[in-house]
Each structure stands twice: as C-alpha cells, then as structure tokens.
Structure 1
Amino acid sequence: MSAPRGEAIEHFVAKWQRREPEMAQAEVFCPPALRPRYRAWGSLLHELRESAFELSDPRVAEVKTQWWAEELLGLAEGRSRHPVTAPLAGVPANWPALVHALVALPASDARPGDTGAALARFGALAAAIADTEARLFEHPAGGRDADAVAVHLLLHRLPEGLAADDQAGLPMNLLARHGLTAAQVAAGQGDPLLRDWATALLAALPLPASHPGLYRRLRAGFDRARLARLAAGRGFDPPGPFVTLLRAWRLARRA
C-alpha cells in the first residue's frame, strides 16, 4: 500500500477502534502478516454497519450503502477506491454475496416478535460476513460464525439504536413482558428489559472456542464480556483495558 493510502486508512481504523477498543488491544495477537487485513476488515465492517443502521437520514443511508455496494463489487474485480478496501483487493472472497445481503437488509424492517426473529433478520448478512471473513483470513468457516455475527450486530445497535426507527431490533415479546414502549426504553426506563435482552443474546452467542478464526473468536469473546456486564446491570461499556488484554491473550491462545 502506498504511503498516502496507508496514512488515510488510519482515520477509519481510529473510528472503528473508538467503537470497539477491545479490538485495538487485541491487534498485537494477530500475526503481523495479517494485521493489514485485520485492521481493514474491522474498519470496513464498521463503515458498513454505520451506513446500514446508524445514519439518521434514510436517503443518505441508502446512497452510502449503494456506494459501498459498488465498492465491494469492485473488490471482486481487484479494484479499490477507498483506503479501507485497498488491503482487501485481490482476495478471492465472495464479495457479490455480501453486497446482495447488504442491499437486501432494509427490506426486512418488520419488528421481530422474539429473539429468534431478531437474529433471523440478520441471518443472510451475518452468513455473508462470516463467509467473507473466513476467506480473508484463510481459515475454515466455523459452523456458528454467522450466529456470532448476528448477535454482534444486535449488541452493537445499543444504546444509540434504541432511538432509531427499528429501536435497535428489540423484540416485541420483551416489550410486552415489561409493559414498555420502545420510546420508554430509549428514554432510559428499560434497564430490566435491557438486562433480559442481554441475557437472551448471551444465550444465543456461541462460545468463542467454536470459531476457528482469530478475528471472530476475539470479537465473540469480547461480545460475551459486554453482554455479561449488561445482563448484570453494569452498562454498555466494555471491561477495563487490563482485563481486556488478559482476555485477548486467552482467546488468542485457543487457536
């Protein structure tokens, strides 16, 4: 990668790592030869998540998602226009499948009835991400990698997504059980509901050891820690840096 592009990607890596500081600490356990892909993949997933779920103007979200779709299709032909995708160009991943799942996602906007339906909404996208990830990092696809990705997407819709149109994908059965509206949860009245939601997602999250790839094993382990804290009423933030570094070391050793 040229020096200007290498410098440009740092902006996007920093954006991603502000949201997922655990992955910044864990980078030291990624083999040096794969670190450019590790950083580019994490940053790309962050950009895709932002364009698909986190922009307040639906028209802007649609335009940005389409732009990324075109960029991913370019990767299938070995072309890259963005600093984040440059380290991924030429990797023989099924980029068209990821594009199809990404652009099809907005059509699935019905409120899920339960946890299973909430996870199923992300099923195709999660499967495409898991398949692409396995090809990028040259490891066998884990049988439950897609489940971990779906849980990750729902977890990281919190807390900001509570005020969005889809209310972060909260299922209707939880709202009914607690006698709350999504607006009340977004206003801070739903701590018991969020603890139950975290418990449900934690039950659906595969154990980190089920993931053959380091990236997903790390992310699943960190998501498990975040969900356990939320289920215990300790908020959305990840554990502290020392505990996180120790967890990253343990997760990396499971390879």
Structure 2
Amino acid sequence: MSDSTALDSFLDKWRARWPEWQVAETFVPAPRRRLAVAWFALLQEFEDAMNIAGDPLPADAKLGWWGEELRDWSRQRSRHPLGRVLEPCPAPWEALAGALPALAAARAPVDDIGEAFSRLRDYAQAVAAVEASLFDAATAGQAANAIAAQTLAARLAEAGPAALAGSGNAGDDGDRGMLQVGEALLKQWPLPRQAPRERRIWAALARQRLQRRVGAGQPVAAAAPLRLLLTAWWAARG
C-alpha cells in the first residue's frame, strides 16, 4: 500500500464516523480541511485505544507506540501516514506524547463526571496546545474543558454510562443511565469559544449528537443537513 493510499484510508475512516463533516467543513478554509481531518483522525486513533473492549494490553501498547511516534515528530521524523500531514507542522508533540497515559487511566470507572474530567485534564490541555499551533489560534482553559467533554462523550457512546459513573445510580447500562450521565456531561460541556474554528465546529457536531441521543432516549440518525449547516455556521462564528 502506498503512503498516499494508507493516508487516505485513515482520513476516510474518520469521515465515515463523522458524515456530518461533509456538510460542516464548508465553514473551514479549504487549505486547512485536509489538516483538520488528519488531526481529528489522529485523535480518533487515541480514543479507539481508550475505548478498547476486553484485554487492554494491545491498546496500551498502541498508546506507547504513539508516544514514541509523537516524540519523533518533534524531531521531524515520522513513520505513520498521518505524520505526512501533521509532522511538518511545529507543535508541542512531545507534550502530547507525555499525556497519552491519561487515556489508559480513563478506562477505569469513576464515581462522577467531575472525576472523569480530572483524569483527562492533562490530555485535554495537551490537545488544546497542539490545536493552537496547528490552526494558528489562541487557546484557553475553556478549550481544554470542551476537549475533555468531547472525549468523554466518545467514551460514553462506546463504553456506556457505567464507564463514567461506575458506582453511582447513573451507572445503569440502560436508557436511564445514558440519560442521567449524558445530561450530567452536557451540563459541564462548555462552548469552546476560544478554540480554533475547526475544533468549535467538530465540538458543536459532537455536542449535538449527544443532545439528540439524550433527548430521544436511544441512538438516532444524524441531524438533517439544514440543521447541521446551521450548527456548523453558528460554531464557526465563534
């Protein structure tokens, strides 16, 4: 498989998970769209390792490999196809590498959402710092909090409510548990107004997904294209 084909396979995998982006990326400057998708695809790789089911050792090994890869990016060396797009961009890659173990720690059930946010604080701050470099934007603590919330929303979707409220009443695995944990997460999900446009748009789409899931009490299809367009436009405005 050529480097170009391998890269496209990772980008297409992320696009398949986020079909809403086809509508939303209208509000991202064309020269930055490929960079944005490559970055989001990388974060998806990290989230997949966090949300692994069963034996965590292969996922932990994967996170360890990614740590070494990101440290190499700091030295202008890359092996992974996503590095062809991302590594040339000066960013605090080594700091992100150092924060990856937080994703393994995040697999353990917690008593409440606040504890889940705390476990991801260092990771979210590292992600926010990289995004500020990639997209030439200012960043703030609010951006990191929003990144943590979005990461937890992915965990909720993949692992269920018990993963975020293991010993509380909301730890039920049914619709009631999803409703309670989802509502608690939404209450602590700030609007990332200080984040880059790319993050603001993706966060708005992710938050909309969770709102629709909580409101319906069951998995639902993506919002209609017009609603997606309005959501992305609102987020792009900042």
Corresponding residue for residue 246 of structure 1: 230
Corresponding residue for residue 149 of structure 1: 147
Corresponding residue for residue 203 of structure 1: 187
The 1:241–1:207 alpha-carbon spacing in structure 2 relative to 1, beyond 3 Å, is same
Query: How much has 1:156 moved relative to structure 2?
Result: 1.0
Q: What is the letter of the counterpart of residue 223 of structure 2?
A: P
Query: How much has 1:74 moved relative to structure 2?
Result: 1.1
User: How big is each residue's C-alpha offset from its partner over 1:197-253, in whole Å with a ceiling of 9 and x where there is no partner?
Assistant: 111111111125x2341121112211221222123134344323332123212322x
The 1:225–1:102 alpha-carbon spacing in structure 2 relative to 1, beyond 3 Å, is same
Corresponding residue for residue 56 of structure 1: 54
Q: What is the letter of the counterpart of residue 196 of structure 1?
A: Q
Aligned length: 237
Q: What is the letter of the counterpart of residue 169 of structure 2?
A: L
Query: How much has 1:108 moved relative to structure 2?
Result: 5.4
1:201 touches 1:227 (CA, 8 Å); kept in 2?
Answer: no
* Aligned mates of 1:21, 1:172 — CA distance in 2: 35
2:110 touches 2:163 (CA, 8 Å); kept in 1?
Answer: no
Instruction: Describe the SS at the equivalent of 2:90.
Output: coil
1:77 touches 1:90 (CA, 8 Å); kept in 2?
Answer: no
Instruction: Describe the SS at the equivalent of 2:156.
Output: coil
Counterparts in 2 of 1:85-164, with a 5 A limit? 85-107=83-105, 110-162=108-160
Task: Indicate the percent of aligned positions where both proteins have the same amino acid.
Answer: 36
* Aligned mates of 1:57, 1:90 — CA distance in 2: 35
> Which residues of structure 1 form unaligned runs of 5+?
176-181
Query: How much has 1:172 moved relative to structure 2?
Result: 2.9
Query: How much has 1:107 moved relative to structure 2?
Result: 4.0
Instruction: Describe the SS at the equivalent of 2:126.
Output: helix
* Aligned mates of 1:102, 1:206 — CA distance in 2: 23
Query: How much has 1:171 moved relative to structure 2?
Result: 4.8
The 1:36–1:62 alpha-carbon spacing in structure 2 relative to 1, beyond 3 Å, is same
Counterparts in 2 of 1:177-196, with a 5 A limit? 182=171, 185=173, 190-196=174-180
Q: What is the letter of the counterpart of residue 222 of structure 1?
A: L
Q: What is the letter of the counterpart of residue 87 of structure 2?
A: A
* Aligned mates of 2:147, 2:166 — CA distance in 1: 18
Corresponding residue for residue 208 of structure 2: 225
